[in-house]
Amino acid sequence: MDLGFTIIILSLFLISMEQACFVYGWNLSDPSLAQIAHDLYHSSDDLLKEVKDLVGRHQDTLQMEILQAGNRGYNAEILVITYGHASKAIDNKTDFRILLSFGQHGRELITSEVALRLLSILSGERAMPGWDSASSNNALVNLIIKVVPMENMNGRKIVEAGDACDRKNGRGVDLNRNWSVDWGKKEKDFDPYEEFPGTSPFSEPEVQIMRKISRSFNPHVWVNVHSGMEGLFMPYDHRNTTPSGVNSNAMKSILEDLNHHYFQDRCIIGSGGASVGYLAHGTAIDYIYEVLKVPLTFTFEIYGDIEASAKECFKMFNPIDITNFNKVLDEWCLAFLSIFQSAPKQLEMALNKVGSGNLDSSLDEIFRGKMHSTRFEGLDFGMQELRTYFRLFMLSSVLLLFMFCSRISKSKCKSTIAI
């Protein structure tokens, strides 16, 4: 091969790689931009060890379990912490239930730090300045709170190895695109590097585990915690609208109260689909609300540096100085403590509006058929499968038509040459 031609090819390759690094946040030339602020952030192993040690010191209020799943040689495990008041036995059927998930995307380290801080407050080891602990303790008596400190452990390891921009799991799937509601639909600005939804709904072990937890626990409140901006979101992600009905009003009231009292009205409020600038399909919040019928479902975006460049992924999603780091932890822990107090009251008011004060037995009235949610889930999953097969059928048809036309074209060409 000519040397000059080889040099041109290599130059074009290097230019394309530089552009890709800028677009996707890859960091090959300046490793300092990808470094984690280890003076502020725990490693994944250290953080989970601290959580386990915390449980060991407070077995009267905290319980721990490790759930595992795997397929096609890929395995995942998730640590789940359950908080229940010491003076009473945990009863999933009568207590008000809250499920919090942190660290769904590997690059969002700050979310897991909030989880650790919140658990330390719930255990009683850390006090929260400016919070009425006596009132909070009274509210906590009737709550069961499940906390997932780090949903995406395998993805977090990739970030710790140097790819500060990675949000996916250990085999390249975005866990917040792998749920079944509207799965696989791609917008015009779809970015496979950022949003690869997997080969099918629930293909990923992490999502399988989270679905199992959500089904068995059957929470009244579900919160998925992210970073990248400051926002308080409710369904939907795959539409630019919010749900209608009394539970939608309850969600909006909770978010407005949080925004005003703890964030000085600086957070964006609304549906994710209408607020973040794009629609997202196959997300956790839409499945939890639409299929599992959890009445109060939220996505919290707890931090974002809008001035960070595309190369500064860690800074974009995580505070890098001690002042902002502690501010994020304090503000959002206060917000969660407020939810623990206000959510049961808001849901009770919603139930009263439909003429019932019994929490679990009347939620089906709010959702027009909660008792049949399993049937709806099967229908929803079946429709997603049909859409997938239809797309494959159309693609196959186009390829066959192309091959057929190519053969006809070649036949005509041969006939012309023969003539």
To the query of whether residue 301 is one of the catalytic residues in this protein, the response is yes
Using left for φ > 0, alpha for ψ between -120 and 50, and beta otherwise, residue 41 falls in beta
Q: Beginning with the edge strand found earlier in the chain, give each strand of the sheet holding 229-234 in spatial order.
A: 62-71, 74-84, 143-148, 96-101, 221-226, 296-303, 229-234, 268-271
Q: Dig out the tokens for 136 from the structure.
A: 């909070």
Give the phi and the psi of residue 125 in degrees, each rounded to 5: -75, -25
pLDDT in tens, 67-111: 999 999 999 999 999 999 754 555 556 689 999 999 999 999 999
pLDDT: which is higher, 404 or 163: 163
Give the type of residue at 110.
Answer: I
Short-list 332, 145, 346, 329, CA closest to 254: 346
CB atoms within 10 A of CB 175: 28
pLDDT of residue 130: 75
The predicted model gives 48-70 an average pLDDT of 97
The terminus-to-terminus CA distance of the chain in angstroms comes to 40
Short-list 320, 114, 131, 144, CA closest to 224: 114
Task: Spell out the residues 6+ positions from residue 336 whose beta carbon is closer than 8 angstroms to its own.
Answer: 100, 118, 223
pLDDT in tens, 167-219: 999 999 999 999 999 998 887 776 776 779 999 999 999 999 999 999 999 99
pLDDT in tens, 368-401: 444 344 444 444 445 555 555 455 556 566 666 7
The predicted model gives 270-291 an average pLDDT of 92
0.85 exceeded by pTM: no
Confidence at 402, pLDDT banded by 50, 70, 90: low
Question: Does position 148 have pLDDT exceeding 70, yes or no?
Answer: yes
Tell me how far apart the alpha carbons of residues 225 and 372 are, in angstroms, rounded to a whole number.
28
Give the phi and the psi of residue 359 in degrees, each rounded to 5: -60, -65
Burial of 249 (0-12, 13-18, 19+ CB in 10 A): middle
Share of the chain above pLDDT 70, in %: 73
Tell me how far apart the alpha carbons of residues 159 and 145 are, in angstroms, rounded to a whole number.
28
Confidence at 408, pLDDT banded by 50, 70, 90: low
Q: From residue 216, how far is each of 103, 203, 235, 406 by CA, in Å?
A: 21, 19, 22, 55
The predicted model gives 246-263 an average pLDDT of 93
Annotated catalytic residue within 151, 195, 206, 301: 301
Residue 222, classed as helix, strand or coil, is: strand
pLDDT of residue 92: 58
Which letter does DSSP use for residue 183 in this model?
Answer: T
pLDDT: which is higher, 323 or 370: 323
- What value does the CA radius of gyration of the chain take, rounded to a whole number of Å? 24
